[in-house]
Amino acid sequence: MGTWGTGILSDDNASDLREEYRDLIGDGVPGPEATDRLIAQWSPRGDPDLEPVFWLALALTQWSCGRLEQRVKDEALRVIADGTAIRPWAGGPDERKRRAVLEAAKQKIESPQPAPSKIKKRVLATCDWERGELIAYRMLNGDYVVLRMLDRHVDRGGAYPECELLDWRGPGLPLDGLPDTTPVRDLRKYGGGKRFMVLSIGKRFLKDRLKRLNVKHQLADNYSRVPRGNTNPTRVTSWKEFDKFLGNSFELA
């Protein structure tokens, strides 16, 4: 987790909090109950580092949704007034910029908030592919390539496949599958590696271009898995950009 700027939401915790509140509202949880849940989950009181992040992010999120609660507003104004929200920047090169951000936040949450907006329930991405399963993808030029499923990445957005690309292409589907010994293509950019994750954006437009081959390779449990605590080298793309990704990363067109 980290902070990458002086903005209220330029912080991983603040961004997570914003999404969690919106998800709760989208799921039909009443605003005050959503606030109670977040307070219980995050326990910000008495934590000088978390308190300003929590109350300011929650106050601005609620204001934008038309649901700012007086108790949240009071806490947000408090961490601005008592200096808690400026402390990490005090004496540093970004102090003036942070003070301007806090003043803007103060003016916003003290101003009349918009009418409550409808928050859509988040539709989670799904993936039922199994580890080792082979998936054929038809490129725009008509040739097929074959992905091998490694793992499912799961987060608040749902489940996404993490795959590798086998070193094979052909004009038709490999109906008999491919042997376990088929080489794996390396990424040509981004420092090498083999793994990539595909977001579901654009998947509904693929229609018959994506085919499960009903073939599954037996992979050792430790094959192409990222050890706990190690940086995950997985590259990220989407189905919408997948042909471009194949061209740029694997020199396939």
Q: Per-domain residue ranges for the chain?
A: 12-110, 133-250
Pair 72, 45: CB distance under 8 Å: no
Torsion angle (degrees, nearest 10) of CA 203, 206, 208, 214? -30
pLDDT at 120: 87
Share of the chain above pLDDT 90, in %: 68
Gap between the Cα atoms of 114 and 201, Å rounded? 31
Of these ranges, 3-7, 43-47, 65-69, 125-129, the one predicted with the greatest mean pLDDT is 65-69
End-to-end CA distance of the chain: 38
Mean pLDDT of 192-197: 84
- Report which of residues 25 and 176 the model is more confident about: 25
pLDDT of residue 207: 83
Cα separation, 99 vs 105, whole angstroms:
10
Mean of pLDDT values over 228-252: 84
Beta carbons of 80 and 59 less than 8 angstroms apart: no
Mean predicted confidence (pLDDT) in 226-231: 60
116 C-beta neighbours (distance < 10 Å), count:
12
Whole-angstrom CA distances from 162 to 22, 93, 133, 151, 234 are 27, 41, 11, 5, 8
- pLDDT of 147 reads 97
Q: Which helix or strand (DSSP H or E) is residue 34 part of? A: helix 31-42
pLDDT at 1: 44
Q: What is the bridge-based pairing of β-strands 235-238 and 196-199?
A: parallel
- What's the average model confidence in pLDDT over 133-140? 96
Q: Please state, as a whole number, how many other Cβ atoms lie within 10 Å of the Cβ of residue 241.
A: 15
